[in-house]
């Protein structure tokens, strides 16, 4: 019996994980179906657009500009080892647009938006505001979840596009300011090198990461335990889950776009 105990524990953990995957999948399907059927809550949707999109711009912009600048420095110093310093514009562009732009924006959204959605909805649950919504004939999935997930699906790709541009600008500023690159040549190399698929993959990743980030915030908020500890656990769990899912989805999407 003692020898089998670890196997039993492994089995229980696997079953618990699969059950959670099932619950999250059902929750996602429910959120999707509520997004498509009336009533629609325009005010909630507008507030979510503002929170996820507009108010995330500073953190996204700062993350992108520093990352772009650091990337230019790294590629220049790394490329100098085999006389390939000239590829800085191309590698910055491809690195930012294909990978760093969407992933960093996704992770910033997980840190900023997933946590705030989870904490807000969990607090509403703990203080019976979710029950109050139900007694007022309002479906929390429609009123709280659908607007937030829809807003993230729409606005995070736009944030990624903004992040891509600012990231490339960060690389451009460092390269032309300190590494001696010609400004016009840098921009021409960047534009010539990028392909439509690079940009499409970036936006698709943004859409997927935004959806995952909002969904995790809503799921953990709606399933929060009681009290301050429940809210804390929901917030922590939502950010962990969103970050891991974003990185896993990034791997799968990169494979789907570029390994064929």
Partner 1 sequence: MIDLQGVTKAFGNNHVLRGVDLTIERGTSMVIIGGSGTGKSVLLKCILGLVAPDAGTITLEGTDVTKTDRDAFLARFGMLFQGAALFDSLPVWQNVAFRLLQGRDRLPKPEARDRAIEKLRRVGLKADVADRLPAELSGGMQKRVGLARAIAADPEIIFFDEPTTGLDPIMAGVINELIREIVTEMGATAMTITHDMTSVRAISDRVAMLHDGVIQWTGPVSQLDSSGDPYVAQFISGSAEGPIEAVR
Nearer CB in complex with partner 1: 30/74? 30
Q: Which bin fits 195, alpha (ψ -120 to 50), beta or left (φ > 0)?
A: beta
Residue 155 CA, chain-centre distance (Å), reads 11
* Tokens, residue 217: 């915030």
Instruction: Looking at residues 24 to 43 of the shown chain, list those that interact with partner 1 (rule: CB under 8 A).
Output: 39
Nearest distance from C-beta of residue 227 to partner 1, angstroms: 13
Instruction: Looking at residues 109 to 138 of the shown chain, list those that interact with partner 1 (rule: CB under 8 A).
Output: 123-124, 127-129, 131-138
Name residue, tokens 């520093």.
Answer: 66
Nearer CB in complex with partner 1: 120/164? 120
Q: Which distant-in-sequence residues (6+ apart) come within 8 Å of 91 by Cβ?
A: 71, 75, 79
Instruction: Looking at residues 151 to 210 of the shown chain, list those that interact with partner 1 (rule: CB under 8 A).
Output: none
User: Cβ atoms within 10 A of the Cβ of 67, count?
Assistant: 22
Nearer CB in complex with partner 1: 38/196? 38
Nearer CB in complex with partner 1: 52/75? 52
Nearest distance from C-beta of residue 42 to partner 1, angstroms: 12
Nearest distance from C-beta of residue 122 to partner 1, angstroms: 13
Q: Given candidates 32, 47, 57, 87, which one binds partner 1 under the rule CB under 8 A?
A: 47
Nearer CB in complex with partner 1: 166/231? 231
Judged by the rule CB under 8 A, the positions of this chain that interact with partner 1 are 39, 47, 123-124, 127-129, 131-138
């Amino acid at each position: 019996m003692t020898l089998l105990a670890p196997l039993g524990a492994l089995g229980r953990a696997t079953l618990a994980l699969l059950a959670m995957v099932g619950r999250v999948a059902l929750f996602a399907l429910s959120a999707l179906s509520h997004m498509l059927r009336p009533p629609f809550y325009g005010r909630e949707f507008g507030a979510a657009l503002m929170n996820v999109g507009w108010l995330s711009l500073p953190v996204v912009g700062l993350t992108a500009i520093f990352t772009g600048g650091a990337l230019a420095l790294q590629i220049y110093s790394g490329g100098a080892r085999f006389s390939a310093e000239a590829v800085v514009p191309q590698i910055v562009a491809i690195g930012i647009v294909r990978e760093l732009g969407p992933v960093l924006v996704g992770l910033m959204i997980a840190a900023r938006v997933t946590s705030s959605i989870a904490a807000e909805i969990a607090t509403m649950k703990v203080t019976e505001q979710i029950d109050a919504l139900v007694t007022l004939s309002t479906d929390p999935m429609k009123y709280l979840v659908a607007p937030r997930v829809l807003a993230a699906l729409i606005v995070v790709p736009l944030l990624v596009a903004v992040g891509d541009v600012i990231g490339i600008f960060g690389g451009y500023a460092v390269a032309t300011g300190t590494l001696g690159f010609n400004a016009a040549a840098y921009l021409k190399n960047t534009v010539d090198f990028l392909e439509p698929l690079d940009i499409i993959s970036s936006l698709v990743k943004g859409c997927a990461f935004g959806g995952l980030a909002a969904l995790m915030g809503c799921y953990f908020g709606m399933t929060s335990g009681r009290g301050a500890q429940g809210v804390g656990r929901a917030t922590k769990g939502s950010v962990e889950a969103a970050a891991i899912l974003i990185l896993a989805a990034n791997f799968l999407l990169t494979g789907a776009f570029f390994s064929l």
